[in-house]
């Protein structure tokens, strides 16, 4: 297993001059030895580029990759000792499940008895024990992908296991089970795992730390809780959560906030001038008129969805979403309510970066 340090940038085109020329903007980051990470972001943000640079399939146009302090930038995946699991199954159809799982170990000349033991353990973890002697050819797509996962996890001496959207072909119910399985396997095997996905639920259930990416930039590396409670960038606020964080333009002057013409005490140290106030729908509460931190807003939509109620309200030019308890009395559309926007759960942003 390895600690992985990146200090690099990558452009697919020669002589990059502007930010948009880069698939990965200059970045410096580290993956802890034995950690479970997800690279999360929308299509085209640079996740696969980063994964391929870590694996050695791609050489960065600038900078270095280090494994345990050793420069491996020009080494192949084999030299780096990386295991990879791709979107679609990579297995030998003519072999049995057991032979497929054993393949990476045979290549390393592991003694037969040890191979048998290890294959048994991995098959058990992935619920493949009953199919060990079956030929892979006859299996369904998701069983084949489980074999690919098993092949990725079977060697305990790899530097890291890299997954590129490995659950794409898996049906939704099994997907949920496998995500939990992978988490459990990580706890048991303590391998360094890096997992690419554009699905926030997948990233947040699997990883100890999530790297949120947008437009070639890793904007925050943090636990699920940190990404939810203190998004370091407005993109993280938007992208994580369903719906994402609410943002309101505000101006801070002399300790007072101007929010769509309402004036409230800032209640904490804030930089002067224009800011964005961010507050999660889960933390936006209905309070009595004129209560501290509250502003009036007009309800435009109110919907009880069983597990909770979702209010949509208008404040100046902004739309706010508030998630309420299912039994909360719902205000009528068109009525004015008071929403507490300033409190200890509010975050403030300047130039899209968290400032308080």
Ligand X SMILES: Nc1ncnc2c1ncn2[C@@H]1O[C@H](COP(=O)(O)OP(=O)(O)OP(=O)(O)O)[C@@H](O)[C@H]1O
Please say which residue, 48 or 148, places its beta carbon nearer to ligand X.
48
Taking the complex as a whole, the smallest distance from the CB of residue 342 to ligand X amounts, in Å, to 36
Closer to ligand X by CB, 12 or 251: give it.
12
Total residues belonging to the chain = 356
As measured in angstroms, the least distance from the Cβ of 49 to ligand X is 3
CB of 191 closer than 8 Å to CB of 21: no
Strand pairing partners for 83? Answer: 161
CB of 206 vs ligand X, minimal distance in Å: 16
Give CA–CA dist 266/258, Å, rounded. Answer: 9
Query: Which lies closer to ligand X via its Cβ, residue 238 or residue 350?
Result: 238
State the Cα–Cα distance between residues 66 and 338, nearest whole angstrom: 53
- Identity of the residue, 12 or 62, whose beta carbon is nearer to ligand X in the bound complex: 12
Q: How far is the CB of 240 from ligand X (least distance, A)?
A: 16
Min separation Cβ 227 and ligand X, Å: 17
User: Among all chains, which residue has been given the structure tokens 């100046």?
Assistant: 316
Q: Which residues, including other chains, have CB under 8 Å from residue 44's CB and lie 6 or more apart?
A: none
- Nearer Cβ to ligand X (39/324): 39
CB of 43 to ligand X, least distance (A): 3
Q: How far apart are CA 182 and CA 193, in angstroms?
A: 10
- Please give the Cα distance from 244 to 304 (Å, whole number): 18
- In the numeric block, which tokens belong to residue 88? 């679609």
Least distance from ligand X to the Cβ atom of residue 304, Å: 35
Nearest CB to ligand X, comparing residues 81 and 200: 200
DSSP H helices, 190-273, are: 200-206, 224-229, 234-239
- Token pair, residue 179, equals 């995500």
| For ligand X, the closer CB: 165 or 209 | 165
Q: What is the DSSP string of 19-77?
A: GGG-SEEEEEEEE-TT-EEEEE-STTSSHHHHHHHHHTSS--SEEEEEETTEE-TT--H
Which of 200, 158, 159 has the alpha carbon at shortest distance from 179?
200
How far apart are CB 308 and ligand X at their closest, in Å? 30
Alpha carbons 75 and 64: distance in angstroms, whole number: 11
DSSP string, 7-32: EEEE-SSSS--SGGG-SEEEEEEEE-
Name the residue among 276, 320, 269 with its Cα closest to residue 294.
320
Q: Pick the closer one to ligand X by CB: 48 or 200.
A: 48
CB 119 within 8 A of CB 131: no
Binding site for ligand X (CB under 6 A): 12, 23, 41, 43-49, 198
CB of 24 to ligand X, least distance (A): 8
Beta carbon nearer to ligand X, 11 or 83: 11
């Amino acid at each position: 297993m390895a600690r992985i340090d990146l200090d690099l940038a990558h452009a697919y085109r020669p002589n990059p001059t502007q930010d948009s020329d880069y698939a990965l903007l200059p970045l410096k980051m580290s993956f802890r030895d034995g950690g479970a990470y997800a690279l999360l972001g929308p299509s085209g943000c640079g996740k696969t580029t980063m994964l391929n640079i870590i694996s050695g399939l791609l050489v960065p146009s600038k900078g270095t990759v280090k494994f345990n302090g050793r420069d491996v930038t020009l080494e192949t995946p084999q030299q780096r000792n990386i295991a990879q699991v791709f979107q679609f199954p990579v297995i030998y159809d003519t072999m049995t499940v057991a032979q497929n799982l054993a393949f990476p170990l045979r290549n390393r000349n592991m003694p037969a008895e040890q191979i048998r033991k290890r294959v048994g353990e991995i098959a058990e973890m992935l619920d493949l024990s009953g199919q060990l002697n079956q030929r892979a050819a006859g299996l369904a797509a998701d069983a084949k992908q489980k074999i690919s996962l098993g092949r990725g996890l079977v060697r305990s001496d790899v530097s890291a296991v890299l997954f590129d959207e490995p659950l794409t072909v898996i049906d939704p119910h099994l997907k949920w089970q496998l995500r939990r399985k992978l988490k459990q396997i990580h706890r048991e095997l303590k391998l360094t795992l890096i997992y690419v996905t554009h699905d926030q639920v997948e990233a947040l259930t699997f990883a100890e730390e999530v790297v949120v990416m947008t437009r070639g930039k890793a904007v925050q590396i943090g636990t699920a809780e940190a990404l939810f409670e203190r998004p370091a960038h407005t993109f993280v606020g938007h992208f994580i959560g369903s719906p994402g964080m609410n943002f309101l333009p505000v101006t801070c002057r002399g300790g007072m906030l101007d929010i769509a013409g309402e004036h409230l005490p800032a209640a904490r140290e804030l930089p002067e001038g224009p800011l964005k106030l961010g507050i999660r729908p889960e933390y936006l509460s209905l309070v009595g008129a004129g209560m501290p931190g509250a502003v009036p807003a007009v309800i435009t939509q109110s919907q009880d969805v069983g597990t909770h109620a979702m209010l949509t309200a208008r404040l100046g030019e902004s739309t706010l979403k508030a998630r309420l308890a299912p039994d909360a009395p719902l205000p009528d559309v068109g009525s004015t309510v008071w929403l507490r926007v300033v409190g200890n759960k509010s975050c403030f942003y300047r130039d899209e970066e968290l400032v308080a």
